[in-house]
Amino acid sequence: MTELDSKSVIAWLRLLGEVYGQKKDYLTDLDAAIGDADHGANMARGFAAVATKLDALEGKDIGTIFKTAAMTLLSTVGGASGPLYGSFFLQAATVANGKNALTAADVGAALDAGIKAVVSRGKAQVGDKTMLDALLPALAAYQEAVVNGLVPALQKAVEAAKAGSASTQPLIAKKGRASYLGERSAGHLDPGAESSAFLLDALLTTASK
C-alpha cells in the first residue's frame, strides 16, 4: 500500500477496537502499578465506541473520520487518555480534511500534527515516562524514513515506538498520576507509551495489507 485511503483508515480504527479490547487487562495491570488502574478499560471503551460509528463513515473523507473518532474518544474516555488521544485525532483531522487518501507524506503530516497536540496538552517530553516516550521517537523515525514509502516508514516508526515504550521501565515518572509515586514509579512500563505503540502497530498492520 502506497497510500492510506478512507477504507483503510476505517479498517485501522476498527482494528484498534479489537486490539484495545484484547489488551485491556494488560494495560490495566500496567496502570495498576503506577496509576489509577483504568487505562486499559478506558482505551477499550473508547475505541469500542469509535467502532460503532464506523459503518456510518463509509465514503466520508478522512478528516471527517478522524474528527468523529476524536469527538467519540473525548466523550467516552475518562482520565487523561480521552483528551490526549482525542486531541491526537482532532489535529490529525486538520491535515486530512477533504482527502480520501493520504500519501506517505500526508500520513507523516497527520502524525506530526497529532503528536504536537499531545505535547501541547500533556506538557511532557521524552524521558518523562509518558506516551510521548513512544510517540516522539516514532515520529522522528517516520520522518527520516518517509522517502522510502508508507510501509517502510511505518515499520521504522513502530520499531522506535516499541523501543521508546520499553525505555520507560527504568524511568521515574515526571508527569501524570505516576509522578506522585516518585522513585517507586521506576521498574514499570508506562501504560500510555504501550498503548501508543499499539496504535502505530495497528496502523502498520492495516497499511501492510
SS3 40: helix
**pLDDT tens, position by position, 52-106:** 999 999 999 999 999 999 999 999 997 788 999 999 999 999 999 999 999 999 9
Rounded Cα distance between 192 and 185, Å, is 14
Domain boundaries, the chain: 4-207
Q: What pLDDT, on a 0 to 100 scale, did the predictor assign at position 132?
A: 97
CB 181 within 8 Å of CB 173: yes
Q: What pLDDT, on a 0 to 100 scale, did the predictor assign at position 177?
A: 67
Distance, C-alpha 172 to centroid of its chain: 22
Q: Where are the alpha helices (DSSP H) in the chain?
A: 6-22, 24-34, 39-51, 62-76, 81-96, 104-122, 132-145, 150-166, 191-207
Q: What pLDDT, on a 0 to 100 scale, did the predictor assign at position 78?
A: 75
**pLDDT tens, position by position, 147-194:** 999 999 999 999 999 999 999 998 888 877 676 566 776 889 999 999
Which cell numbers hold the place of 195? Answer: 498503548
CATH-assigned architecture of domain 4-207 = Alpha Horseshoe (1.25)
Rounded Cα distance between 47 and 162, Å, is 21
**pLDDT tens, position by position, 120-142:** 998 889 988 999 999 999 999 99
Closest CA to 138 of 50, 56, 51, 202: 202
